[in-house]
Structure 1
Amino acid sequence: MKFNHIIYKVEDGIAHVILNRPEKYNAFNFDLMCDIVNVQKVIKKDRNIRVVIISGKGEHFSSGIDIKSIMGQPLQFFKIGWKLNPFGTNMAQRFCIGWHRLPVPVICVMHGISYGMAMTLALGADMRYARPDTELAIMEAKWGMVPDMAGLQTIRSTISQDVANELIMTGDPITADKALEYGLVTRVVEDPMAEALAMAEKLKARSPDATAAIKFTNQKSWNGSTRALLARETLYQIAQLISKNWRIMDIRNRKDPNKPFVKRQYWW
């Protein structure tokens, strides 16, 4: 699949998704939004991918939505927000929640400004590593709007409601250190890409089936009922115990640490 404004490459089981509109600070126009939604589909179909790393080319991760481009094309604006089923997802919501639905860990590497839509994209990742110079903001309030890209799904399980209210209602930027204090980023490090690659190698040493099951158990049960969590734990565990990768993990732990896994086996 051809992409307009992202670089997509897979190296040794790690899928790199690189925002590639540096002359516009990687601002999201319609084509870039389509690229994100489409690359999610490509990754989901490739059962050999073990980890996804999202990053941005140039001086900044992303300045957020390209207002001039999007608002200048009413039909594109309609396509981004339209959905027939109000309980389903539109393009803007898949932009964030689509990363949740991938059966592999997703790590976002952030630097420079990460505003608005860029923050929503980052919230879709399972881990967020930021450089100390990163500035983050949830900016819909500055445009007289409410967050509508599914980012609240992650925010509500990440930070307290009062802090969320401050950030969302004001739209004020915060530093990487403050984001770490709030829990919006996982780590603040000088070289977040190196940190992401090191984490990717650790994750590749685990069964891809178990990693997928752990991710989906957390995603679906973090704010759910205990009954649903217990049921999901049991079903996913049975799936692990009959999988080839569970037996391979046992061999790696006891005999041969370099025995390769087979590709992810189940529907996740």
Structure 2
Amino acid sequence: MPEKTVLLTIENNIAYVALNRADKHNAINMMMFYQLDKIIKQLQKDKTLRAVIVHGKGVDFCSGLDVKSVMKAPINILKLLFKWLPGQSNLAQRVSTGWRKIPVPVIMALHGRVWGGGLQIALGGDFRFVEPTATLSILEARWGLIPDMGGSLALKEHLPADQAKLLAMTGKEISAQQALEYHLITEISSDPMASAKALAETLIQQSPDAIAGVKKLYNQVWWRSDRFTLARETFYQLKVMLSKNQKIKSYNQTHDTSEAKIFKDRSSW
């Protein structure tokens, strides 16, 4: 039986994804790449989900790539980097970019070391709650590599180019407070998991169609032209307004019902 490097549990329509190589500081080996990729694809198809929380077992969220394990077989590099088309995500990138394609909020609860590939994974989420003593690093420079796991999509949304280059070229560690000042994280929390759960509970009270629409809209338009942004705003607003969930939301607000109706499963976003 293969090692369970990633654990998935679903409770009350919230998925909990746990990196499960605590004895290796959740360093990413090939099995973890495959299992994360499989779980992400499963969550992308689950229309009953309302939120996803990602966390790590043990003392660190993720210390980065398990270089020794991955490099012991040269074929692994090809498996990680191969893609049919240049614009698509390969296996290495999907463990970061895949979270962006899940049409519900993905919340990262981070602690300990969030280094290299671990930071790339975390950057794929919508929100990041970080323990005060955590450290973050784009660690690839120390191995003579570039950060190639898809985190660049988030970096260009959060950082000026010179600051991103500084972190990527030096591989320096930054504190949670510095990460907050860089706008790499959402909030510093003494209990990131509790903060993640609280946000998830708040968000699932909203229309799932509106939440999905906002996520997809902002991911698509953040650095696009004004014309593209305005067109996508109108498209997603019409899609949300014509959905069943919006009609339920409007009815509840108009009639001030004491017993709010539960939103239906999210539609095909």
TM-score with structure 2 setting the length: 0.96
The equivalent residue for 2:262 is 260
The equivalent residue for 1:209 is 209
Within 5 Å, which residues of 2 pair with 1:224-235? 224-235=224-235
Question: In the aligned structure 2, how far is the partner of 1:237 from the partner of 1:122?
Answer: 29
Farther off after superposition, 253-262 or 208-217? 253-262
The equivalent residue for 1:112 is 112
Deviation (angstroms), 1:99: 0.7
The equivalent residue for 1:248 is 248
Deviation (angstroms), 1:3: 7.5
Within 5 Å, which residues of 2 pair with 1:1-268? 4-254=4-254, 255-256=256-257, 258-266=260-268, 268=269
Name structure 1 gaps, 5 residues minimum.
none
Question: In the aligned structure 2, how far is the partner of 1:247 from the partner of 1:66?
Answer: 49
2:75 is paired with a residue of what secondary structure? helix
Q: What do the CA deviations read for 1:115-171 (whole angstroms, capped 9, x no partner)?
A: 000000000000000000110000111111111111111001111222111111100
The question of whether the paired residues in 2 share the 8 Å contact of 1:251 and 1:259 is answered with no
The question of whether the paired residues in 2 share the 8 Å contact of 1:51 and 1:200 is answered with yes
Deviation (angstroms), 1:78: 1.2
Amino acid at match of 1:264: R
1:156 is paired with a residue of what secondary structure? helix
Question: In the aligned structure 2, how far is the partner of 1:262 from the partner of 1:3?
Answer: 36
Deviation (angstroms), 1:251: 2.8
1:49 is paired with a residue of what secondary structure? coil
Deviation (angstroms), 1:36: 1.0
Deviation (angstroms), 1:258: 2.6
Amino acid at match of 1:83: K
Deviation (angstroms), 1:176: 0.5
TM-score with structure 1 setting the length: 0.96
Cα RMSD, aligned residues only: 1.2
2:118 is paired with a residue of what secondary structure? helix
Q: What do the CA deviations read for 1:166-217 (whole angstroms, capped 9, x no partner)?
A: 1111001100011011111100010111111000011001111110000010
Name structure 2 gaps, 5 residues minimum.
none
Aligned residues: 266
Amino acid at match of 2:27: A
Percent identical residues: 41
Amino acid at match of 1:209: D
Question: In the aligned structure 2, how far is the partner of 1:227 from the partner of 1:77?
Answer: 40
Instruction: Spell out structure 1 runs of 4+ moving beyond 2 A.
Output: 251-258
2:249 is paired with a residue of what secondary structure? helix
Deviation (angstroms), 1:102: 1.0
Amino acid at match of 2:12: D
Question: In the aligned structure 2, how far is the partner of 1:3 from the partner of 1:107?
Answer: 25
